[in-house]
Structure 1
Amino acid sequence: MTCRIIIADDHPMFREGMLRTVQRLLPEACVEQAGDLDTVLEMLKTGGEVDTLILDLRFPGLTCISQLGELRQQLRRTTLIVVSMVDDPQLIEQVMAMGADGFIGKNIAPEEIGQALLAIRQGEVLVKFAPSGLLPLDTNTLTARQQDVLRLIAQGKTNKEIAKALDISPFTVRIHVSGLLRSLNVPSRAAAAVKYSASL
Structure 2
Amino acid sequence: MACRIIIADDHPLFREGLLRNVQRLLPAAHIEEAGDLDSVLALLEGHEVPDTLILDLRFPGLTGMSQLVALRERLPRTTLIVVSMVDDPELISQVMAAGFDGFIGKNIAPEEIGQAILAIREGEVLVRYEPSGLLPLDPLPAALTTRQLEVLRLIAQGKSNKEIARALDISPFTVRIHVSSLLRALNVPSRTAAAVKYSAAL
Common fold, TM-score beyond 0.5? yes
Aligned to 2:12: 12
Distance 1:128 1:60 in 2: 24
Aligned to 1:108: 108
Secondary structure at the aligned position of 1:95 is classed as helix
Distance 1:99 1:43 in 2: 21
Distance 1:70 1:47 in 2: 18
Q: Does 1:47 align with 2:68?
A: no
Alignment of 1:1-200 (within 5 A): 1-133=1-133, 164-165=185-186, 176=197, 179=200
Q: Identify unmatched segments of 5+ residues in structure 2.
A: 136-154, 157-181, 189-193
Q: Label 1:92 to 1:62 Cα distance change in 2 as closer, same or farther (>3 A).
A: same
Aligned to 2:191: none
Q: What is the Cα deviation at residue 52 of structure 1?
A: 0.2
Q: What is the Cα deviation at residue 133 of structure 1?
A: 2.8
Q: Label 1:162 to 1:97 Cα distance change in 2 as closer, same or farther (>3 A).
A: farther
Distance 1:177 1:45 in 2: 30
**CA RMSD for the aligned pairs?**
2.6
Distance 1:178 1:41 in 2: 24
Distance 1:49 1:95 in 2: 21
Q: Label 1:101 to 1:163 Cα distance change in 2 as closer, same or farther (>3 A).
A: farther
Aligned to 1:184: none
Contact 1:88 1:178 in 2 (8 A): no
Q: What is the Cα deviation at residue 20 of structure 1?
A: 0.3
Aligned to 2:178: none
Q: What is the Cα deviation at residue 178 of structure 1?
A: 9.0
Output the amino acid matched with 2:185.
Answer: K
Q: What is the Cα deviation at residue 23 of structure 1?
A: 0.3
Q: Identify unmatched segments of 5+ residues in structure 1.
A: 136-143, 146-160, 168-172, 181-200
